[in-house]
Amino acid sequence: MLIKIALLLIIFFSLSYSVELRVQAFGGVVYNLPTPLLIKQAGYEEIDLTARYETRPFETSPAPYYVVRGGVWEGGKAWEIELIHSKLYLKNKPAEVQEFQITYGYNYLLLNRAWETGSFIWRVGGGVVITHPSSVVRGKENEYVRYDISGVGIQVGVERVLLRGRNFIVSVEAKLSSAYAEVPIAAGYAVVPNLAVHGILGIGFGF
């Protein structure tokens, strides 16, 4: 719903003023750096470890990794709304943790500021993290299965335009994202920060 509203606002401003509306979609790969993971469960000692995650970006169940964004460009600068649909699978599970993954999305919903210099586009952004976790800790399965705003996130990135047509561009982008989130587990919660490097390739259309 928030994305639909944001895109409608972008379209409104693009029609009302002499600006360009640009929409883009990307796929790619992610490297998650090791980060702390703290699991608090009522009646038990805390589980504290350095977590190592994988993203499995091309797995289609439940969905592959992707990035979509829409922006209003004027004078080589833009305001953008961006969604990064990332996923986390805990690789180094301790004995107490049978499953820990956030595969329906460790999602970033960001407001970006972007500016273009030649074939490069630079951007910074910040916003919220929306998660849908799944876990089994000490044999107890998390039954809280809805999307929630769970924290905050930021990104910095540089995009390289590879091909520019009259109304489209093909580009690659490297970005660094950082976030802090708290997600529910059975009888408790987990503190799940993330620091990741993204490499993406995609196409965009201008109107």
The pLDDT assigned to 144 comes to: 80
Torsion of CA 190, 196, 201, 202, to 10 degrees: 40
Q: Over the stretch 13-22, which tens digit does the pLDDT of each residue have?
A: 555 557 899 9
Look up the domain containing 14 and give its range.
2-206
Per-residue pLDDT band for 198 (boundaries 50, 70, 90) equals very high
pLDDT digits (tens, 9 = 90+) for 31-81: 999 999 999 999 999 999 999 999 999 999 899 999 999 999 999 999 999
Position 191 scores a pLDDT of 98
What is the total count of domains within the chain?
1
Please give the Cα distance from 185 to 206 (Å, whole number).
43
Q: What CATH number is associated with residue 60? A: 2.40.160
Strand-pairing partners, residue 51, are 35
Print the SS3 string covering the chain. CHHHHHHHHHHHHHHHCCCEEEEEEEEEEEEECCEEEEEEECCCCCEEEEECEECCCCCCCCCCCEEEEEEEEECCEEEEEEEEEEEEEECCCCCCEEEEEEEEEEEEEEEEEEEEECCEEEEEEEEEEEECCEEEECCEECCCCCCEEEEEEEEEEEEEEEEECCCEEEEEEEEEEEEEEEEEECCEEEECCEEEEEEEEEEEEEC
Q: What is the pTM of this model?
A: 0.91
Close Cβ partners of 188 (under 8 Å, ≥ 6 residues apart): 39, 40, 41, 42, 137
Q: Categorise residue 143: left if φ over 0, alpha if ψ from -120 to 50, beta otherwise.
A: alpha
Residue 118 pLDDT greater than 70, yes or no: yes
